[in-house]
Amino acid sequence: MSWIAIALVAAAISAVVNILDKTVIHRYATSPLTLPLLIGISQTAVGLSVLAAVGTPPEATPQAAGWAVGSGVLFGLGGQLLIRTLFTQEVSRAIPVYQTFPVFAALIAVVLLDEVVTTPQWAGIGATVAGAVALSVRTDAGYRTLFLHRSFAVLMLASLLTGAAHVTGKAAVSELPVLYTHGLRMLALGAVFLAFNLRAVPLREVAGFVRTRSPALLFVGANELLIANGSLLLTLWALSLGPVSLVSALIGTRALYVVLYSTGLALVWKGALGEETSPRSVAVKAGSTALIVAGVAGVAL
């Protein structure tokens, strides 16, 4: 299977992760720390299990392992910011802004990995950023002015961290097996989430989920142990086969899948995920996301 197909499948699967995350946030969690805590617990367990199963390969130098751990830390920090934002914002607005990370991945890869970015790719970068800005603009009914939502800067920082995580992940899988790299990344990611979210309030809420056998545990278990790890493994596999700037661009098509999934669910089940479904809202989301995807396509040329 080509790295292009692998990256596109990873993008489609990762969009399901975002939808299920938002489901837990919207329907079950009352604290913004609860879902990240559950993710931290799950991914730490996954990281330890994978490393115990595969062992340490002979090619695992301290530098290569450092790239893998650094990738997990960066990915964890970006994910922490994203999930905190998802607690208050629509998933189909937040994810497309976050999905501008191919822009940062391309810029960092040029500096660190000497990858070449062509003129059409730089044009795609501009279109991607424009689409992100358009998606975050709000109209104030009282003053009739346009302004960026306060979450925009946070999401762009999360995007930068995720772009850097892809580049460092590429550096890791250039020397290490994919499974071993995945284990180190998940262990580091889990540690980041635990450091930020291991608090009394979310612990009590998680204990309540266990006590009442809440469906939230089923959502998180399926999402974090199976779906998210499947997507992340596919992403690493694609990175091991293709250039990070192009793989990241294709992973960025997740924005399209998220808008399709979330808007479709909201249209079928009114109020699902807290999404707006007015014709104007849907048109803005679709148009802005199309611009982002067009930009991502330009990056991939």
**pLDDT tens digits, residue range 226-272?**
999 999 999 999 999 998 888 887 887 777 777 777 777 766 666 55
Output 176 or 8, whichever has higher pLDDT: 176
Question: Which residue did the predictor score with more confidence, 155 or 52?
Answer: 52
282 or 171, greater pLDDT: 171
237 in a domain, yes or no?
yes
pLDDT over threshold 70, residue 202: yes
Count of CB atoms within 10 A of residue 131's CB? 25
Answer positive or negative: Cα dihedral of 116, 120, 124, 130. positive
Is 224 within 8 Å of 38 (Cβ atoms)?
A: yes
Is residue 196 pLDDT above 60, yes or no?
A: yes
Residue 139 lies in a domain: no
Q: What is the mean pLDDT of the chain?
A: 84
**Inside any domain, residue 285:** no
CB–CB of 71/185 below 8 Å?
Answer: yes
Residue 292 domain-assigned (yes or no): no
| Amino acid at site 107 | L
Q: Is the pLDDT of residue 122 over 90?
A: no
Query: Residue holding tokens 């392992």?
Result: 65
131, part of any domain: no
Query: 139 — phi, psi (to 5°)?
Result: -110, 120
Q: Which range has the top average pLDDT, 18-32, 48-62, 82-96, 97-111?
A: 48-62
Candidate ranges 17-26, 48-57, 90-99; pick with highest mean pLDDT: 48-57
Domain for residue 144, yes or no? no
In the chain, % of residues over pLDDT 90: 40
Band of the pLDDT at 102, cuts 50, 70, 90?
A: confident
Asked if the model's pLDDT at residue 63 lies above 70, the reply is yes
What are the angstrom distances between the C-alpha of 243 and each of 15, 97, 98?
Answer: 22, 23, 21
Number of domains in the chain: 1
Predicted pLDDT at 148: 56
Residue 299 lies in a domain: no
Is pLDDT of 70 > 60? Answer: yes
What does the CA dihedral 51, 69, 254, 243 come to, rounded to 10 degrees? Answer: -100
Task: Record the pTM.
Answer: 0.82
Q: What is the pLDDT of residue 272?
A: 54
Between 270 and 295, the higher pLDDT residue: 295
Per the CB < 8 A criterion, the answer to whether 137 and 146 are in contact is yes
For residue 291, tell me if it sits in a domain: no
Give pLDDT tens digits for 139-172: 444 444 444 567 888 888 999 999 999 999 999 9
> Which domain covers residue 223, as residue numbers?
3-117+150-253
Structure token pair of residue 245: 């700037």
Three-state SS sequence of the chain: CCHHHHHHHHHHHHHHHHHHHHHHHHHCCCCCCHHHHHHHHHHHHHHHHHHHHHCCCCCCCHHHHHHHHHHHHHHHHHHHHHHHHHCCCCHHHHHHHHCCHHHHHHHHHHHHCCCCCCHHHHHHHHHHHHHHHHHHEEECCCCCCEEECCHHHHHHHHHHHHHHHHHHHHHHHCCCCHHHHHHHHHHHHHHHHHHHHCCHHHHHHHHHHHHHCCHHHHHHHHHHHHHHHHHHHHHHHHHHHCCHHHHHHHHCCHHHHHHHHHHHHHHHCCCHHHCCCCHHHHHHHHHHHHHHHHHHHHHHC
Q: How confident is the model at residue 68 (pLDDT cuts 50, 70, 90)?
A: very high
Calculate the CA dihedral of residues 163, 165, 170, 174 and round it to 10 degrees: 160
As a whole-number percent, the residues of the chain with pLDDT over 70 amount to 85
Sign of CA dihedral 15, 19, 25, 26: positive
| Separation of alpha carbons 268 and 247, rounded Å | 33
Structure tokens at 190: 């889990």
Please report the pLDDT score of residue 145 as a whole number: 46
In this structure, of 7-16, 52-61, 160-169, the range with the lowest mean pLDDT score is 7-16
Mean pLDDT, residues 36-63 taken together: 94
